[in-house]
Structure 1
Amino acid sequence: MSIQIPRGTQDLLPGTTEVWQYIEQTAREICRRYQYKEIRTPIFEHTELFLRGVGDTTDIVQKEMYSFKDRGDRDLTLRPEGTASVVRSYLENKMFGNANQPVKLYYIGPMFRYERPQAGRFRQFVQFGIEALGSKDPAIDAEVLSLAMGIYKELGLKKLKLVINSLGDSDSRTAHRNALVDHFKPRINEFCGDCQNRLEKNPLRILDCKKDHNHELMASAPSIIEFLNEESRVYFEKVQKHLTDLDIDFVIDPTLVRGLDYYNHTAFEIMSEAEGFGSITTLCGGGRYNGLAEQIGGSDAPGTPGIGFALSIERLISALAAENVELPIEEGIDCYLVSMGEAAKDYTVKLAYQLRKAGFTVEKDYQDRKVKAQFKSADRLKAKFVAVLGDDELEKQIINLKNMTTGEQVEMELATFIEQFKSQQSLGGK
């Protein structure tokens, strides 16, 4: 039996990878405008990083991580998300000492979670994310949200919904936590085993349960908004004001808690409202995580404030398809070299190299095909020009260039062909 791709993964083939490259290029360009710099962290980390950073009560840590022991008996894990790795690198490389603050970073790379594969959800998936570390200004929250929305809008998505909430500071969360315990405890036996385990450890996670989300106690659960102290309330109001000033529409959802333990204050999700997109509408999620650096072990930078988000490239592509958005991906090549005769065929090897060295996209025949078949190949590749060279033309040191749009054909001297071709391109092929 032939070996097949592992379940929950996918091959991205030519014709598809161009879409990914366009999306990644767009995200990188927007990050450049906002002055976020790329960071690249290892695909695997010490398991302890995610136990501390993501939280041992989360589904990710309890059920979804790909963990293993290496030959040195060390516990390692394929990264299930990007924030913990970025914060670890921020601390390890003492970026908190950089002259420019806050430190603004972005990443693009594969993540790994063992969950049931379904439409738009894979076991190996690619996330783009940003992290801003070192500022507790609500303006940076608005900046992060505007960057996320900017990526989707620049790519052509329109049917978007931004949902925000505040999880408050530690005092607000403690008060809310106690209220949740009192609310769920009398009937906790009606909930799944995970929720029962979370009641005392982290009752906020109960609100994020997928099995019991329709239970009547979910709808009547105390809202974190009711327990925000003055400082947290003012902070959340400032975030909302900044978003309003930026003309970014949003909806407040007091039940939004996100799936990771490190969030506090601002939490948010961006959802697709496109018809037929699917039951899982979330495209992007993130929030503020003040104190995560301390949880990871950052004694040199206690209380480091941070905020970020991560979006799935796969789900972004699904949203583009749902809204019938076609990306303006450039297709075709500059020139196809058609050869007739052995000497001409050999010469096109050199000529193709010279054209490529001059910056042009070029292809030639490698299958010993007839002239007609070579022209068909040029059509399939959407060549703007075809340069025809036969043994007779080579002996006369001339070459014929055909404009595939207009059908016009001109004879050129071979010695100056590169420069003449540049002129043709500068004229738009006319």
Structure 2
Amino acid sequence: MSVKVNITSKGIQKVLKNYNEKQAIAEYIWNGFDANANTIRVDYVANPLGLLAQLTIADNGYGINFDRLQQKFDPFFESEKSIQIVAPKHTSKMHGRNGVGRLTFFTFAHDAVWHTTYQSEQGFRYGEIHISTGGLNSYSHDFTTAPSSSGETGTTVSFTNLRISQQDVEETVLPFLINEFCWFIELNKQKNYSVIVNGKALDFNSNVKTLEQFNLFYPDTAVTFKIKYVHWKENLHKELSKYYFLAGGEEIYKDYTTLNKKSDDYFHSIYIDSDFFRDFDFKSFENEGQVAIFGAAKSSAEYRFLIKALTEYLKSKRKPFLKEYANRLVETYEQDEIFPVYATEREKELRKPALVNLIKALYEIEPKLFSSLNTDQKKTFVRLIDLLMRSNQRDEIFEMFNGMIELEAEEQDELLQLIKGLEPAKN
């Protein structure tokens, strides 16, 4: 049977233009996890020229129910407005967007076939769905075969007429998948989630820079929080840095950490497991006047204690990281000739060390000051600071940066002491 949806094939590609082959393959893996799979298998075979001859992505989830097929493959949008790639804000469940990822195969293949087994009231049923790039707005399906005797549910998507090479997969796609799923695999550690590529499990620990585990104990009510801190080497794509609140290994809620979006490449995740969260009201704190009817809320003493302790912990972990990156920033500025050219070596010896120290300190306080600047902007920024230092306008330097960035009291004192402690400029 063939079914046609209400948008053209080119229109679908336009809607999904934000996807590339890496993100598309990731979407098929997310679809598997959304279907309650704990194991995703990616298998591929290359031809003698290095191009993929076969690619399959299989999961052991609950399969695609024929009765709900229309919801999965019929139009999930009414216009050709492009879809932004976003991550769920407060839960990691149902990461996919109502099947939108099912049509992204056009980024790397011409044809896709879904082989799926699901359990109905009549027993296990098997079916197939076929879609080609030239007709993304239509699909054919066959669920007329006899019930499956395998006794296992799951879905395997087979891609043919591929436009991706083995080198692309191994050098680009697989590293992307590690960064995409490492936080999620860690979140579901107790469930033994895995992504297996050609028979070998992906090593998600390869993106781990530091992992520490410890407990926080609130004595007044004898509440214990089991903490797992992970500092990642590379970014987590759209997931960003978050707290994950769990009870008995099950995610209850997630939210950004206090150090998220600091523009400093400090990628981290905090997993917090406690029975305290079983009846926790995470939304009541949005209105200070609200009080949780059942269980605890963000206004509780335990939660305030937890977040305060974790904020201080993250700050302590971030400081050496920022010092390391501040040194790298200065090295980059040296290579790119961002620093001023001094008239004499003597002048350079007198002025440059203080300028470098201030640049480092500013980066450690607010890395965002140095992000997204082109070469000319970097030179202007650094040389403006140098001019202010030459004129000994220390108060103006402090006021300028205190107005540009939001500084906590401790950071204000740190910056002020640094500026006041700089050696006066000499001719």
TM-score by shorter chain over 0.5: no
More relative contact order in 1 or in 2 (CA 8 Å, sep 6+)?
1
TM-score, length-scaled by structure 2: 0.23
